[in-house]
Amino acid sequence: MIEVEAKAKINSFNEVRTKILELKAEKIKTEHQEDIYFNSPICDFTKTDEALRIRKTKTDKESNLFITYKGPKIDKKSKTREEIEMGIEDENKCRKIFEHLGFAAVREVVKDREIYRYKNYEISLDDVKGLDPYMEIEALVEDGTDYSKAQEGLFKVFEKLGITDGFERTSYLGLLENIDEN
């Protein structure tokens, strides 16, 4: 799948939440996410713009574990990239496999995410530990599909929400790493 995604720094969750609800978007869930990111023994993911993580999610009703690989961004405007994700049963066993293969855990990213559905888009309000408020909008398209219409559409949704600047292509992992460097 191709994940067509853009994110923007926002001033207030309450202000944007009100606008999201005015669009008649449906709140899907609130989710706590804990991501452990790994770097490759073969190439430096910070240089190749790739990501590998184990994600734990928890809602009031369920908990899940996933492995996610994200390829390099494929345009200059958004965070559009290939994404491959699958469920796993045991975080510790997965982590051990990664470590035996030479992958090193580099950082944990923790966030609480409110997820809304608007047409073909998923809108997320992200409260990331250590960062200011952010909002992401994403759509998934099949590999090999022209993603430009989905990308245009998600920027139109941002406009409907009154967001025309503050866009950020750096991942939450990268933003946290940048804070540590400064």
Task: List the one residue out of 107, 111, 129, 85 whose CA is nearest residue 173.
Answer: 107
Q: Which residues contact 169 (CB under 8 A, 6 or more apart)?
A: 73, 78, 79
CA atoms within 13 A on the CB side of 67: 14
**Annotated catalytic residue 37:** yes
Catalytic residue among 37, 121, 134, 147: 37
Give the sign of the dihedral formed by CA 82, CA 169, CA 107, CA 101: positive
Instruction: Quickly list DSSP for 93-153.
Output: HHHHHHHHTT-EEEEEEEEEEEEEEETTEEEEEEEETTS--EEEEEEEE-TTS--HHHHHH
The set of catalytic residues is 37
